[in-house]
Amino acid sequence: MTNGHPTREEDFDLYVLGALEGDEKQAIESHLAACADCARKLAVARGRVAAISFAAPRVEPSAAVKDSLLRHVRAESQAPSAVPLKVPSDSAKVPAPGTGREFAPPDPPRGLAGRWLFGILAPACVALLIATVMLWRENDRLTKQLAGLGASVDKTQRQLADAQEMLHLYTSKDTIKVLLAPKPGMIKGDGEVMYNEKMGLLMYDGWIAPSPDDKSYQLWVVPMEGKPISAGVFNPATSDTAHWMSKVPEGIAPKMFAITLEPAGGMPQPTGPMVLVGGT
């Protein structure tokens, strides 16, 4: 234990199962009395062990096991020091199936046979529960690890798709390049737009001074006909170069590209002053 806290998560499961002894048991009990966080973990462990116990399928003992147990009971009842078996009353007798005769169910095993059976089954049950808890925890860890790997694969696939689109944009003969320059009296900056009308793909590179806290920059594709189309909202924290790719409807012939200063989060249509502008 480090600073009184258990160093292994499975210590809580082992404590619930009664597998901790001596100093280990005393140390964790002393710590639990003063640590709410560890007490919460212990409660979770108790619920986990209980759920696993109830989830275990019921297993009926085989006929051989029953016969062996009854032989031990009979042998003990015939020994000189054995305690006489309780004779069942008539009310406890029930008809034996298929015979019409009556019989009394045997008493539960006691004495040497009962202790022998408990001495074998109890440790086996505890060991089985411990193994089940360990396997459950390992399965949970592997499941989370697999989910993390799946997310990493998805991210890599998206990055690969973006790289392929960027390559197509750079190499296509239909891609145009438009330089953006600041309007007189506006914030300093410059940028460049690469645009492919057939692909509906746009890439922006540029730098511009940070926008006010309540404002955002918004890039627009201004078509030959119709309303401007938003191609991205951004808020540069510094004057470092900004770079991104954006999808727009295919087949839009541009007249110009413009960056305007809009309320934070952008607008459906331009409302603020043009900061950077570039014509085709």
Residue pLDDT, tens place only, 177-223: 999 999 888 888 889 999 999 999 999 999 888 888 899 999 999 99
Split into its structural domains, the chain has a count of: 1
Which residues span the domain enclosing 263?
Answer: 175-279
In a domain, 114, yes or no: no
The H-or-E segment that residue 193 falls in is strand 189-196
The answer to the question of residue 266 being in a domain is yes
192-228: string of b/e by CB count within 10 Å (b at 16+)? ebbbbbebebbbbebebeebeeebbbbbbbbbeeeeb
Task: Report pLDDT for 145.
Answer: 77
The domain that holds 208 is classified in CATH as: 2.60.40
What pLDDT does 30 receive? Answer: 83
**Residue 142 covered by a domain:** no
pLDDT, mean of each 10-residue run, the chain (280 residues): 66 76 81 82 76 58 63 63 46 48 51 52 64 74 78 80 84 94 87 94 91 92 95 79 88 95 95 92
At 56-76, the pLDDT tens digits run: 555 555 666 566 666 766 666
In a domain, 238, yes or no: yes
pLDDT the model gives residue 85: 43
Does residue 205 sit within a domain? yes
Asked whether residue 162 is assigned to any structural domain, the reply reads no
Is residue 219 assigned to a domain? Answer: yes
- What is the model's pLDDT at position 4? 65
Does 217 fall in a domain? yes
